[in-house]
Amino acid sequence: MDGVTFDLAQTPLREVNRFLHQSSSGYIHIINPDGAHNIAVGLDAPIEVEIVGHAGYYAAGMNKLANVTIQGNVGTGVAENMMSGRVHVKGFASVSAGASAQGGLLIIDGDASLRCGISLKGADIVVGGSVGSFSAFMAQAGRIVICGNAGDALGDSLYEAIIYVRGSIKSLGADAQMESMSDADYETVRELLAKAGFTHNPKDFKRIASAKQLYHWNADANQEY
């Protein structure tokens, strides 16, 4: 694909990010990331960015409109506070993937570590593998599709976000409960899987949502929730 190529072994990351912030369109190819932190953060235009290799913390954080593909693994907080656009991790993701993301789509082909989707605020996350403990902790809005298994305390203190899990769930967190799948749920899962490029059967997924017992303070509960 035509476009601009940056080699992070030769060009400082600050210079690369400055170029990305000034771009309004086009394709940018970044090679030799070597685990650098904060690659392609704060993008605010419909540009295409491909990172060939592993990225460090907060890759594609605060993304808006851009389509970012990472041909490797990522560290903490990929697509953190994403507003819109698409971030696709072709490898594995470390802790807090998609934290506080308000819009857009995050795709992780492999596993995601602890706290995937923590405090999610409206984005969609599709994980091809499994997620670690405390994923979707305090997730307020949005949808998470997990094609593998989920660790302990899934959906702890969940609000209005919905989680779909294909595999096993080690345990549900406080106020999270399993619910029946509706036709609308199956369609939602089908659409998100298609966007992520996965071919699983939506009928294989389970729905987890909030029991809504933590919405209001109960003075009679004596701190026992």
Q: pLDDT in tens for each of the 225 residues of the chain?
A: 569 999 999 999 999 999 999 999 999 999 999 999 999 999 999 999 999 999 999 999 999 999 999 999 999 999 999 999 999 999 999 999 999 999 999 999 999 999 999 999 999 999 999 999 999 999 999 999 999 999 999 999 999 999 999 999 999 999 999 999 999 999 999 999 999 999 999 999 999 999 998 877 666 766 565
How many whole angstroms separate alpha carbon 150 and alpha carbon 135?
8
Amino acid identity of residue 174, one-letter, is: A
pLDDT at 214: 82
Query: Which whole-number Å values give the CA distances from 28 to 68, 151, 216, in the listed order?
Result: 10, 36, 48
How many whole angstroms separate alpha carbon 204 and alpha carbon 39?
36
Alpha-carbon dihedral 216, 217, 222, 225, rounded to 10 degrees? 40
How many whole angstroms separate alpha carbon 206 and alpha carbon 167?
8
Which helix (H) or strand (E) element contains residue 193?
Answer: helix 183-196
Structural domain spans, the chain: 4-214
81-103 as b/e, with b when 16 or more CB fall inside 10 Å?
bbbbbbbbbbbbbbbbbbbbbbb
Closest among 134, 206, 137, 201 to 167, alpha carbons compared: 206
Homologous superfamily assigned to 4-214: Glutamate synthase, alpha subunit, C-terminal domain (2.160.20.60)
- What is this structure's pTM? 0.95
State whether residue 124 is helix, strand or coil.
Answer: strand
* Residue found by looking up tokens 């190529």 in the block: 5
Query: Which whole-number Å values give the CA distances from 89 to 52, 100, 106, in the listed order?
Result: 11, 18, 8
Amino acid identity of residue 97, one-letter, is: A
Cβ(71)–Cβ(87) below 8 Å? no
How many whole angstroms separate alpha carbon 199 and alpha carbon 45?
30
Q: Token digits for 40?
A: 């392609």
pLDDT at 225: 52
pLDDT at 53: 98
pLDDT at 213: 86
How many whole angstroms separate alpha carbon 50 and alpha carbon 156?
34
